[in-house]
Amino acid sequence: MTRIVQKFGGSSLATPDRIRSVAARVVGARRTGAQVLVVVSAMGDTTDDLVVLSREVNPNPPAREMDMLLSAGERISIALTAMAIAAHGVEAVSLTGSQAGILTDDTHGAAKIQGITGARVTDNLAEGKVVIVAGFQGVSPRSKEITTLGRGGSDTSAVALAAALGGDVAEIYTDVPGVMTADPRIVPEAQKLEEISYQEMMELAAGGAGVLVPRAVEVGRRYGVPIHVRSSFTDSPGTWIRKATEMERMEQAIVSGIAHDSSEAKVTLREVPDQPGVAASIFEPLAEASVNVDMIVQNVSREGLSDISFTIPKSSMEWAEEVVRLVGQHVKASGVEIRSDIAKVSLIGAGMKTEPGVAARVFRTLGEAGINIEMISTSTIRISCVVEQSQMQKAVQVLHREFRPPLIREERGA
């Protein structure tokens, strides 16, 4: 029997009307005979509203209590979704993360899923009921505490449930048609991708494509769960994320998509004396302070001195800045420079591996558009450039025009 996991985010559930639309879609899927497991986020802005409330009673609330608080959001949406489905005469039962057996470690606010027991889920599915599970939350078997999974947690819950309970697909419903070759607000001619590999999707997500968090894609990749990102407003197919070997196209696009990210700041430590272990001296204190370092670039040494640049989330600037300045003193940098007016533009495509000269074309394209590249970082299927934030949009546009994703084979001389 087909077992489908359908995940609906907060904007798909923001009003009673939208909850009724979600219910109609779920009931449609159930009536095809499939078993349907629904994963929901909190309604609309509920989570943000709860965060604001918490800050008003305690500017620095205990993480355990934040999880207690935020987990109320999905509790509301699972119950309302179950009621809306029941209104169609279809049996539905809501389960919290804990009731669904989503077991996590005990890192409040950023818990990792360790396993899913899921007996209540599968028992209810077997009885023909639609089961609605609260995304974003779980329970730590060690501390017996409610935990939340952090950003993008509901997507991760959905893919993990599909993985653990033998789901045939994890459908991620969203307010866009699927995974796009670029942000359509920046590139009007951006296209919806019909399919993309897990690895490319992870790079796109890491590059700033907000449609899915990398950890959800990673769970899908590890357990081979096909993920279908699609619109909650239409019945059109969206984008399938699957193994490269299972994709329908035999050859892969040079560039599948272009992502951008203006959420990071760039830190440069000037003229750091070269010595063994200097990189560790810089990045260990940052890791201890829970600052996520993304790109790291160390340029060629001149007279035993290196400039070291890296990017960190602007959201952690407040506490990162002090750490960075202390680190700078410790490694005897001649200066520390922090710039937040930068952005990262990333081209992702598995076809890059077999297409020579892609990086050179990226640099030339940006150069011809008068865009200065401040940092470069590459993997086998990605090229990322840091540019001035004011030039980010233009960079995405010229690169999209140049590479025309998801073009497979270059029409040379065209």
Which of 34, 76, 289, 293 contacts a copy of itself by CB under 8 A? 76
| Residue 59 or 413 having the CB closest to a copy of itself | 59
Helix, strand, coil distribution of the chain in percent, nearest 5? 40, 25, 35
Strands 92-95 and 102-104: unpaired
Is residue 183 classed exposed, middle or buried when 0-12, 13-18 and 19+ CB atoms within 10 A define those classes? buried
| Residue 93 or 125 having the CB closest to a copy of itself | 93
Q: How far is the CB of 74 from a copy of itself (least distance, A)?
A: 9
Q: How far is the CB of 277 from a copy of itself (least distance, A)?
A: 40
Which of 37, 78, 162, 291 contacts a copy of itself by CB under 8 A? 78
**Which strand ranges, in their side-by-side order, compose the sheet holding 342-348?**
257-261, 342-348, 382-388, 375-379
d(CA 83, CA 87): 6
By the rule CB under 8 A, 408 interacts with a copy of itself: no
Q: Which residues pair with 228 in a beta bridge?
A: 171, 240
Residues within window 120-149 making contact with a copy of itself, judged by CB under 8 A: 144
**Which strand ranges, in their side-by-side order, compose the sheet holding 102-104?**
113-116, 102-104, 137-139, 146-148
Sign of CA dihedral 273, 277, 281, 283: positive
Token code pair at residue 395: 């960079």
| Residue 78 or 333 having the CB closest to a copy of itself | 78
Which of 14, 34, 51, 72 contacts a copy of itself by CB under 8 A? 72
Task: Say if residues 341 and 390 touch (Cβ distance below 8 Å).
Answer: yes
By the rule CB under 8 A, 320 interacts with a copy of itself: no
| Residue 10 or 257 having the CB closest to a copy of itself | 10
Q: How far is the CB of 63 from a copy of itself (least distance, A)?
A: 11
d(CA 24, CA 108): 35
Which of 65, 246, 284, 341 contacts a copy of itself by CB under 8 A? 65
Name the segment binding a copy of itself (CB under 8 A); options: 71-79, 122-130, 190-198, 328-336. Answer: 71-79
Name the segment binding a copy of itself (CB under 8 A); options: 90-98, 165-173, 243-251, 403-411. Answer: 90-98
Report, in angstroms and rounded to the nearest whole number, the Rg of the chain calculated over CA atoms: 23
Residues within window 91-110 making contact with a copy of itself, judged by CB under 8 A: 92-94, 96, 99
Residue ranges that bind a copy of itself, judged by CB under 8 A:
16, 19-20, 23, 50, 53-54, 56-62, 64-66, 68-69, 71-73, 75-76, 78-84, 86-87, 92-94, 96, 99, 144
